[in-house]
Amino acid sequence: MKNSTFIQLAGILGGLAVGIGAFGAHGLQPLLEATGRSETFETAVKYHFYHTLAILILGIWHGFQPERKWLKASIWSFFIGILIFSGSLYILSLSGITWLGAITPFGGVAFIIGWIFIVFAAKS
């Protein structure tokens, strides 16, 4: 894949993070406060944003050094982490389905693996 694809992915994920965060802060605030899940929702949005910015930076780096194969692995790991970690927390916050908390750590592991892949990319 080209680095522009990764930059576009970051743009989409960033836009979603802003939209979801704003909707949570305004449209869902009464529900989140009533269920005591405001902090959980905010955590999901923060990690969504952090890793979207990482994907953007890695996409730019990939444009300069496409031979560093670990960059792609890191980007995809962060993407999977956003889907599982933030996604499960979003759903948990809105639905109260508590068993989703059991899969959230898998997203966290994907984030950690993505950061480790950056180490490998820098060494290759």
pTM of the model: 0.94
How much is the CA Rg of the chain, to the nearest whole Å?
15
d(CA 67, CA 73): 12
The alpha helices in 36-103, defined as continuous H runs, are: 38-64, 70-81, 87-95
pLDDT tens-digit map of 10-30: 999 999 999 999 999 888 988
36: phi then psi, degrees, rounded to nearest 5: 70, 25
pLDDT tens-digit map of 89-117: 999 999 988 887 899 999 999 999 999 99
Tokens 């955590």, residue located: 43
- Predicted confidence at residue 89, as pLDDT, reads 96
| CB-based burial label for 84 (10 Å; 0-12, 13-18, 19+) | buried
Q: Count how many domains the chain has.
A: 1
44, pLDDT greater than 80: yes
Domain residues for 113?
A: 3-123
